[in-house]
Amino acid sequence: MKMRSFLLSNALLLAALGTAHAKTIVVNTVDNTNFSPGQTNLVYALQILADGDVINFAIPGAGVHTIDTPADGYPLITKNNIVIDGYSQQQAGSTASPNTASIHDTNNAQIKICLSSENGNALSMYSAVTNFAGIDYPNLGFGDSEQAVLGFFRATNVWVKGLAFLAAPQTSTSYAAGGDCKTICFAVDAPDVSSLACQGFHVSGCWFGVDPATGQTAYMPDGVTVATPAICIATYGTGTNGTPGFPNIETEPGPGTIGVAAGSANPRAEFNVFVTGYGFDSQGGPFRICGNFWNVLPDGTTLADISTLNGGSQQGDAYVEFGSGRGILIGTDGDGVNDAEEGNLFGAYQNGGIDAYYYGSQGQTIMAGNSFGVDIHGNSFNVGKLTRIIHHLNTAATCQLRFGSDFNGVSDALEANTVVDSLLFDLDNAPAPNSHWVCMRGNSLVNSSTPLGTTPPVGDGQLLGGDGEPLYSAFIDISGPNGTLDIIPTIGAGTSTTTLMGTCGKRLTPDIRVVLDLYEADTTPSVPAQGKRWLGRFAENSAADSNPTEGAYTFDITSLGIAHGTAITLTATYIVDPPVAVLASHVGGNTTLRITGGAPPYDIYGATTITGSYALVASTASNTATFAAPTNMSFYKIVYHPQMTSGVGQTSPFAAVYTMP
């Protein structure tokens, strides 16, 4: 009863606030203890914040203005549709401006507002949330030892931009000493309290662990400890509070954006720069991680290697980490808008580290248009093959990864990843057969361990990047009559600069196509076959294939202009054709569909118009489905598992290197 009363009063309060006009609050002092007339500090600005408000800055004086976090932190931010804009600082000698350079140039942002917890102060998230709500949260994603510079709860569509964040890795509050500083925390409500989950958060144009005055790595007063938090941005799920009869479930955060938002009108202004051991720690999704420098300083050429800074003691789990992740985009979305500006630049580790780490269940991930282990000019950071791009691809049947281009005709070249001196993927210890759907096309791989191998090696001597487990069957079913080696294509001795010929795996089912991708090969000594430059793609048994035998191919490649002596290599990708539904009947309110393509189980989504809102109407484990549907529902989409945007695929390892005669 007490909880219901609180929620009702909150609802009335929110309704009243919704009728007020949004305002702009201008912070004009760095002194968070000064509440005198005419002075607005950040503490007061957050205290009076209402839905739709904007916090701007106009602090007098030249240079960067550092605002120290007060004891026990700033007020918890609970309002919706708010903006905190560091780029609004436009004072004489202290003019902030967002970056205007591409992701492959020096970041030229001028950041003049720095929020600093170098003093060891922060906000304990658990106590902040429970004190605000007036109820306990036994399953809140945050404890009191997880401490924020800016803490958010329930707040929807918040945007933090144009700020520098410096912090001691460990901070303390009156609730918990020696906690982990997690600079920006997004806490979601319990599902039996409300559906508010910090949906639509956006962090852009910010620098973490970088001195905004110099563009160099920032240090604590000891000159050794990097002034970067334990985790830069964190968001976790919250479980049910315990309402009787309510299912025991968890609300997970998302969507959210780190960097360039979808369809941004000014994408270059949204690039973030991170010097971090642990950049983004999350559950849920979908999340966009687009247009960021990770442990590369704003000049784009200087590596801030967290595995060596401060003796490596501040190295964390990964640049980005996902638990029960779903709908994860790292890099270019390939929609034709801002695609050249959405890739990430990932620095390297000398002593071993991870770019993306998964724990828990795992859904669809797209990694496209990124650069790994190189600077903005494409030069290797030369610290060896010690960076693992993805760790812990798990055993879930829904595990799907597109690494590179989908070749759908939109921004295909921009979707390619560049990988230099890196490891690629590793798996759980015992993945289920055929459980990892990895489509890996169009990338440039140089001196990098390629995935999808076995121990002992299969065909071309490749090992699985990382742990080297004998896990090839996790990626593609090798138990059929075609045998293990058939899935790795061969390049025939008759291949020349005008003709590509050889063999490849046969269709595993009638709904699978085999697409071959040709690459100029990396000829680094003692490195397994891999492609450093994509040359072209060919569909086996298509009209362009003059060899009618299934599992064998002959293509005219004259138009590619490949020079004599060029080393080439080849991959085969096994693409499952998308399902097609035929309306069999629509009688008495029941609709029957016959489905071909893909593989059951299928989820069926229906709408009344082709561009309308599609809703899940049925699921089926067979190729025929009968379900109740409105008589005016005539448009259906079929989703099958595993499924991947713009083509499901599993890519075999590269074939052996062949030198053009």
Residue carrying structure tokens 């009638």: 510
Q: What is the DSSP letter of 70?
A: P
Backbone angles phi, psi at 134, to 5 degrees: 80, 15
Mean pLDDT of the chain: 86
Positive or negative: CA dihedral 489, 494, 496, 499: negative
pLDDT reading at 223 higher than 60: yes
Q: Any idea of the CA torsion for 102, 330, 646, 555, to the nearest 10 degrees?
A: 70
* CA of residue 634 relative to chain centroid, distance: 35
Mean pLDDT for the stretch of residues 60-80: 98
Overall average pLDDT of the 328-340 stretch: 96
- Dist CA 283 CA 321 (whole Å): 8
Q: What pLDDT, in 10s, does the model give residues 571-587?
A: 888 877 666 767 777 77
pLDDT at site 243: 92
Question: Is pLDDT at 129 greater than 60 in this prediction?
Answer: yes
Distance CA 270, CA 350 (A): 29
Picking from 487, 661, 646, 447, the residue whose alpha carbon sits closest to that of residue 573 is: 487
In the predicted structure, residue 446 carries a pLDDT above the cut 50 = yes
DSSP one-letter code for 242: -
Which range among 81-90, 323-332, 425-434, 545-554 shows the weakest confidence by mean pLDDT?
425-434
| The pLDDT of residue 510 | 60
According to DSSP H, which parts of 280-340 are helical? none
pLDDT-based confidence at residue 396 (cuts at 50, 70, 90): low
Tell me the average pLDDT across 70-78.
Answer: 98
Distance of CA 76 to the CA centre of its chain: 27
598 pLDDT tier (thresholds 50, 70, 90)? low
The pLDDT value recorded for residue 320 is 96
Q: Is residue 433's pLDDT more than 60? A: no
326 CB neighbour count, 10 Å cutoff: 18
Higher pLDDT among residues 442 and 393, named by residue? 442
> What's the mean pLDDT in 122-144?
97
Q: How confident is the model at residue 8 (pLDDT cuts 50, 70, 90)?
A: very low
Question: pLDDT at residue 642 above 70?
Answer: no
Which of 487, 515, 465, 505 shows the shortest CA–CA distance to 649? 515
Amino acid code (one letter) for 265: A
Mean pLDDT calculated for residue range 450-466: 36
Q: Mean of the pLDDT values across residues 236-258?
A: 93
- The β-bridge relationship of strands 615-620 and 602-607 is antiparallel
Share of the chain above pLDDT 70, in %: 83
Average pLDDT of the segment spanning 385-401: 73
Please give the average per-residue pLDDT across 207-226, as a whole number: 98
CA distances from 479 to 138, 162, 393, 476 (A): 48, 54, 22, 9
Element (H, E) at 13: helix 2-18
Res 291: pLDDT = 98
Q: If we measure between CA atoms, which residue out of 392, 401, 315 comes closest to residue 350?
A: 315
**pLDDT of 167 above 80:** yes
Pick the closest to residue 159 from 85, 49, 88 (CA basis). Answer: 85
Q: What's the pLDDT score for residue 467?
A: 39
pLDDT greater than 90 at residue 425: no
